[in-house]
Amino acid sequence: MSPSLPETMKAISIREPGGPDVLELVDIPLPVLKDQEILLKVAAAAINRGDIIQRMGFYPAPPGAPLTPGLEAAGTVVAVGKGVTKWQTGDKVMALLAGGGYAQYCSVHEDHAIAVPDTLSMEQAGATPESIFTVWTNVFEDAGLKAGETLLIHGGTSGIGSMAIQMAKAFGATVYATAGSEEKCKACETFGADRAINYNEEDFVLVTKDLTDNVGANVIFDMVGGDYIQRNITTAARRGRIVNIAYQSGSVAEVNFLPIMLKRLTMMGSTLRARSIDEKTALTQAITREVLPHLASGTLKPIVYKTFPLAQAADAQILMESSAHIGKIVLIP
C-alpha cells in the first residue's frame, strides 16, 4: 500500500440488526488488497434496498466480502494489487461491489470496474453500477427483451426502475411503468416511458391489456411481489417472461399456476451480490460493450435525487424507506 495512504478510514458500521439508528460512523483499517483488486478513494456510493435488508439482518454479506454495507461506488484508483493490468492509479471508475461502499475507500476486483465516461459526474457514476447491472442481467440477458417488445416495469421511479425505462427505450422496446402518484408518473414519462400507470388510481392489468390490444406485456420487471405475482401472470403476453428482483410487498402469495402453462410463461428471479467473480466479470464485459456506449453518448443518465454526507447514512436510508424519492440516493464520503 502506498505510504501516502492513511492506515484507517471512516466507514459505516451496522452495530446490530435493526432500524436506521444502528448505523454508526467508525474508524476501520483500509481494505487489504487481494490479487487483481484495486483500491478506490470513494467519491460517491449509492443507497440500495439490499443495504436496508442487510441492516435489518436478512441479507448478510457473502463469505469474504466486507461487512460494511454498500453495493456500488465510484471513485479514483489509488492503489493496485498484484496482477492488476486494467487500471492504474488516477483512473476514475465505477464498480459493482459485494459490500464496502459506505466508506472513504473500498476495494474491488479489477474486472468488475468500468471507466467513468465524461458524460457522468462522479455522483451520477456512483449511482450507476447496481442499476445497469441489475437491468442488463434480468431484463436483457435472462428475460431476453428484444426491440419491438413491450416491457412493464413496476416501481418506475426507483433507481433501478428509472434506469430500466431508459435502457429499454434505448434498445427499442415499448415501455409502460407503474408509480404511485401523478408526480411520479410524469417522471416515468420524462425518463422515456410510453405510458405511466398510477397504481393508486388505475388497474395496471386492465391498462396494459388495453394498451396492447389485449396481448399483454412480453416482459414484466417486478420488485413488488405480493399480490402483484398473480396480477403479473394475468398481465403477461403469451410466452411472456416475468422477472422478480425483490418482494417489497412480500414473497408469499396464493397463485393460480394454470395460466403459466396455458400461456407458456417463464417466471424467474435473481440476485447479484453472491455471484462468482467469473459471472460478474462476464456481466461487466457485456455491460461495457453494450451499455457503456449509451452512457457515454448521454442517452442513459442516472437520476440522482439527493446526496448525503457519509455520516448521515441513516437519514439516507430513512429517505429510501419512505419511497418519497425519484431516482437514486447517494452518499458522499
Cα 134 to chain centroid distance, Å, stands at: 5
Q: What is the pLDDT of residue 203?
A: 98
Would you list the DSSP string of 289-317?
A: HHTHHHHHHTSS---EEEEEEGGGHHHHH
Q: What is the pLDDT of residues 93-110, one digit of tens each?
A: 999 999 999 999 999 999
Q: At 329, is the secondary structure helix, strand, or coil? A: strand
Instruction: For residues 80 and 40, give the distance between their C-alpha atoms in angstroms, rounded to a whole number.
Output: 9
Residue 223 near residue 178 (C-beta atoms within 8 A):
no
Phi-psi region of 191 (alpha: psi -120 to 50; beta: other; left: phi over 0): alpha
> What share of the chain in percent tops pLDDT 90?
98
Beta strands in 60-191 (DSSP E): 72-80, 92-96, 105-109, 113-115, 150-154, 174-179
Q: What is the pLDDT of residues 164-211, one digit of tens each?
A: 999 999 999 999 999 999 999 999 999 999 999 999 999 999 999 999
* Average pLDDT over every residue of 39-46: 98
Which domains occur in the chain, in start order?
A: 8-128+274-332 (3.90.180.10), 132-269 (3.40.50.720)
Residue 227 near residue 248 (C-beta atoms within 8 A):
no
Q: What is the pLDDT of residue 3?
A: 63
- Cell numbers linked to 139: 431484463
Residue 110 near residue 85 (C-beta atoms within 8 A):
yes
The owner of cell 429510501 is: 320
Instruction: For residues 316 and 306, give the distance between their C-alpha atoms in angstroms, rounded to a whole number.
Output: 9
